[in-house]
Structure 1
Amino acid sequence: MTTDNSPTTQTSWWSLPGRFLRREFLPVLTDLRLAIALLLIIALFSISGTVIEQGQTPAFYQANYPEHPALFGFLSWKVIQVVGLDHVYRTWWFLGILVLFGTSLTACTFTRQLPALKAAQRWKYYEEPRQFQKLALSAELETGSLDSLSQILKNQRYKIFQEKDDILYARKGIVGRIGPIIVHIGIVTILLGGIWGAMTGFMAQEMVPSGSTFQVKNIIDAGPLALSQVPKDWSVRVNRFWIDYTPSGGIDQFYSDMSVLDNQGKEVDHKKIFVNQPLRYHGVTFYQTDWGISGVKIRFNNSPIFQLPMAQLDTNGAGRIWGTWIPTKPDLSEGVSLIAKDLQGMVLIYDETGKLIDTVRAGMSTQVNGVRLRILEVIGSTGLQIKADPGIPIVYTGFALLMLGVVMSYFSHSQIWALKKGDRLFVGGKTNRAQVAFEQQVLDILEQLNNPSESQVKTPVSGVSS
């Protein structure tokens, strides 16, 4: 038995995968039905990522999505964590769907949109009267000249192509053929931005006492490449945190005065943030989202100032309060409890039996267990949500391209042919959209060519519609 190693056989063998891709896989990949199905799947899981809280702790999902009864009969915390619905935008299958959708659009661009653009850029002259019969709108005139027609078309911003004295071709709106390509590029750019943001972005939460300096460390959700985006060469100082209250005692707004510091401690940026007014620096955004009480400053008689931490107490959903215990004797044998519920300075003091001793405000003092206790300040802490998404500029660029492409797509690609045959002038044209407007335009052109009678104009065919 002999083996044929001829170049023809080897070329045929290696061309089989390429032939399979062109004939079997590529038509499926560029199918509009596949693109629509992928788009609906992306929309469905994007909605789920909006409805289901992202990046929370397992305890959160166990408490809010129990197994019995499961939401909709199947959605429990186990399903959420196994499928990845708690971080849907970073799951491998969601990113895979985005890649497949982008690949489909890219393949469609190269196999359909670019060839259509190249075909629109090519033209041929009509040199026989019978060629005008296939046009949706055409006319045969007894009078008129190509020179006058050329001038009329130029006035209407047509680009004229004329190599002989008896034939003419004109077109305008080629940008309408470029529009769909720009739309595809914009969508693919948005997908790339989303994938890049999912891979490199992170979200963190910090509770920072007023007057403290911190670096981003408490990361709760991050992509596999996010470590490169976490700032290490600068830090943030919360200069001051305060709350404005309404006359009835409710919270009106809370603020954080913040400074960005370099490695030498020099301030490189400064901003007062509040809800919907974040601090942005080097692609990292600091949002004001929460507040708390971190500590209290006190003094016994003429002692030095002590700053003691306060912890949030469990009230079973009855409100938020913070408390601490203060020893009133050096051997810690006696002490009092301090309770505060806001930053207005009101502090409740209880003895060891839970009896209310006194109620004081910041700057006031009271007598407890034989010593004078002065409450100097209740120290607040700001709750910050910190996000970085390097894909956002790419997504914005994609949206800009998408809107530009949509606007460009509204331009009609209109073509007009003309042939001078003896004493007869044949004129015809077609367009890819706005058929009625184009028909009226052609009729106006014919009207200017010595006012042809109605019988000289062929009735549009092929169901002309707008």
Structure 2
Amino acid sequence: MTASDSSPDTDFLSLLQEIWHQILKIIADLRLAIILLLVIALFSISGTVIEQGESLPFYQQNYPEDPALFGFLTWKVILNVGLNHVYTTWWFLSLLILFGTSLTACTFTRQFPALKAARNWQFYQKPRQFEKLALSSEVSLQSVSEVIPLLEQRGYKVFQDNNSIYARKGIVGRIGPIIVHAAMLIILGGAIWGALTGFLAQEMIPSGASFQVSNIIEAGPFSRSLIPKDWGIRVNRFWIDYTPNGDIDQFYSDLSVINNQGQELDRKTIFVNQPLRYQGVTFYQTSWGIAAVKVQINNSPVFQIPFASLKSQGENGLWGTWIPIKTDLSEGVSLLTRDLQGTMMVYDKKGDLFGAIRPGMSINIDGVTLKIYELIGSTGLQIKADPGIPFVYTGFGLLMLGVMMSYVSHSQIWVLQQGDRCYLGGKTNRAQVTFERELLAILEDLEITKHQEVKSIIEAT
């Protein structure tokens, strides 16, 4: 066997290296990153348009098989593909991971080498090197050092090697794209971490009741530790403020965080855009309803009867209940209301409107005295835990910083002195017109300096 012969192991390693370089080249391709970004954006839009986390009857009603929306979008397609919980599906998370991998590869194969090249000193030693520059000129100078003050006045960092000068500024513009890539990776990481460890729940709780989070709508595979087990929430009071014309102004919930023994750990009154946060779990005020009414029939004990929602839409909702007026439940009256302002409509056993009543009032109907004591509201809470949010916010902050840094022009100027001739040229990656004006201003200053030197010599002689 000669030295030129290669072993099978060496050939195999060479093949693996070649495959790895090809894969890395594909992953680091900017076109792949753009395609992945567009696909992610498309599915993100679908997650905004298609309601997320709803029940099966909801999708069957709103996305029937005949006629199918757009000819193909049915409830079966939505559930099978996972469009009802887009952001936590395996394929969406895989797209995020692939996009992050592409960004990482692009950063290490393109951005870091570009930054390293920008930081290197690059002295020109031959006049023909200036020919490849779009902006270059020749001036007559006694010494190349005459250019240094003019460059430093304009913020350039100057490096000199005998009769050659290299000057640069705006290196932060090369760092900006790296910050942008890092920020996007942090955002992607935060989104993935939140999808894996967070959860979303909804509760409709009557005023005065306590509960523990149980109605989970969405939950990541590692979210179990975040779901509260040793504490819950007590709704001390729920109320609504109305405008003078009867419209809802704001609704409030006075919430207490309690442990399993009923001891209060924290307390806050929440309303829209002012949630309660406790141990990484956030309680948002999202909706409201009417839970029950406390009534008395003749001299009976005061008892509570639940209300049922007859319409599901917010301010135009309608709630109703049926109140028995005989012990055998053979007859009763109906009670309807639209809000918590207190006015309720009473309908007799035939379904005819009998009158209106408010809490604290009594009414005689069919020989029975009906007294209303209290109308009990219920608060609609959205409960969310997302450990990835701090990472996402940090990423967005860095993204804005990186974008601003990327707008800084990276400008380079070379100067070479040969005899009495001085070659000067430069280039920039953006703001070309501004750079041209700056270079012309340097040349004009050099000419002015030269004339002043000549004048001084004449005056001295």
TM-score calculated relative to the size of structure 1: 0.87
Residue of structure 2 in register with 1:53 after alignment: 51
Note closer, same or farther for the CA distance 1:160–1:248 as it changes in structure 2 (3 Å cut). closer
Residue of structure 1 in register with 2:453 after alignment: none
Which amino acid in structure 1 is aligned with residue 125 of structure 2? E
Question: For residues 176 and 252 of structure 1, what CA distance do their matches in structure 2 show?
Answer: 49
Which amino acid in structure 2 is aligned with residue 228 of structure 1? S
The answer to whether residue 11 in structure 2 is matched with residue 18 in structure 1 is no
Q: Quick check: 399-408 or 271-280, which moved more?
A: 271-280
The answer to whether residue 416 in structure 2 is matched with residue 423 in structure 1 is no
Question: For residues 58 and 14 of structure 1, what CA distance do their matches in structure 2 show?
Answer: 53
Question: For residues 352 and 336 of structure 2, what CA distance do their matches in structure 1 show?
Answer: 15
Deviation of 1:92 (Å):
0.9
Q: Quick check: 375-384 or 239-248, which moved more?
A: 239-248
Unaligned runs of 5+ residues in structure 1 are: 454-466
Deviation of 1:314 (Å):
4.7
Question: For residues 207 and 82 of structure 2, what CA distance do their matches in structure 1 show?
Answer: 37
- How does 1:55-454 map onto structure 2 within 5 Å? 55-164=53-162, 166-263=163-260, 265-300=262-297, 304-306=301-303, 308-312=304-308, 314=310, 320-326=318-324, 328-329=326-327, 332=328, 336-341=332-337, 342-349=339-346, 354=351, 359-367=356-364, 372-451=369-448
Question: For residues 435 and 197 of structure 2, what CA distance do their matches in structure 1 show?
Answer: 50
Residue of structure 1 in register with 2:457 after alignment: none
Question: For residues 119 and 312 of structure 2, what CA distance do their matches in structure 1 show?
Answer: 72
Deviation of 1:413 (Å):
1.3
Quote the sequence identity (%).
60
Note closer, same or farther for the CA distance 1:450–1:216 as it changes in structure 2 (3 Å cut). same
Question: For residues 294 and 316 of structure 1, what CA distance do their matches in structure 2 show?
Answer: 14
Note closer, same or farther for the CA distance 1:416–1:246 as it changes in structure 2 (3 Å cut). closer
Note closer, same or farther for the CA distance 1:326–1:158 as it changes in structure 2 (3 Å cut). same
DSSP 3-state at the match of 1:108: helix
Residue of structure 2 in register with 1:38 after alignment: 36
Question: For residues 144 and 189 of structure 2, what CA distance do their matches in structure 1 show?
Answer: 51
Question: For residues 129 and 317 of structure 2, what CA distance do their matches in structure 1 show?
Answer: 84
Question: For residues 268 and 313 of structure 1, what CA distance do their matches in structure 2 show?
Answer: 33
Unaligned runs of 5+ residues in structure 2 are: 451-461
Tell me, yes or no, if the aligned pair for 1:240 and 1:258 is still in contact at 8 Å: yes
Note closer, same or farther for the CA distance 1:312–1:55 as it changes in structure 2 (3 Å cut). same
Question: For residues 123 and 315 of structure 1, what CA distance do their matches in structure 2 show?
Answer: 73
Question: For residues 38 and 389 of structure 2, what CA distance do their matches in structure 1 show?
Answer: 22
Q: Quick check: 107-116 or 148-157, which moved more?
A: 148-157
Which amino acid in structure 1 is aligned with residue 213 of structure 2? V
- Output one character per residue of 1:194-243: Cα deviation in whole Å (capped at 9) or x when no partner: 11122122211111010112221111122222222212233222111112
TM-score calculated relative to the size of structure 2: 0.88
Which amino acid in structure 2 is aligned with residue 122 of structure 1? N
Which amino acid in structure 1 is aligned with residue 101 of structure 2? T
Deviation of 1:322 (Å):
2.2
Tell me, yes or no, if the aligned pair for 1:52 and 1:85 is still in contact at 8 Å: yes
- Output one character per residue of 1:345-377: Cα deviation in whole Å (capped at 9) or x when no partner: 234455555566654321122346766443211
Tell me, yes or no, if the aligned pair for 2:323 and 2:335 is still in contact at 8 Å: no
Deviation of 1:103 (Å):
0.8
DSSP 3-state at the match of 2:224: helix
DSSP 3-state at the match of 2:225: helix
- Output one character per residue of 1:88-131: Cα deviation in whole Å (capped at 9) or x when no partner: 11111111111111111111111111111111111232223333
Question: For residues 277 and 196 of structure 2, what CA distance do their matches in structure 1 show?
Answer: 20
Question: For residues 390 and 29 of structure 1, what CA distance do their matches in structure 2 show?
Answer: 29
Deviation of 1:28 (Å):
1.6
- Give the total of aligned pairs: 445
Tell me, yes or no, if the aligned pair for 1:144 and 1:450 is still in contact at 8 Å: no
Tell me, yes or no, if the aligned pair for 1:336 and 1:349 is still in contact at 8 Å: no
Question: For residues 368 and 435 of structure 1, what CA distance do their matches in structure 2 show?
Answer: 88
- Output one character per residue of 1:275-302: Cα deviation in whole Å (capped at 9) or x when no partner: 3333333332222222222222234556
- CA-based RMSD of the aligned residues comes to 2.7
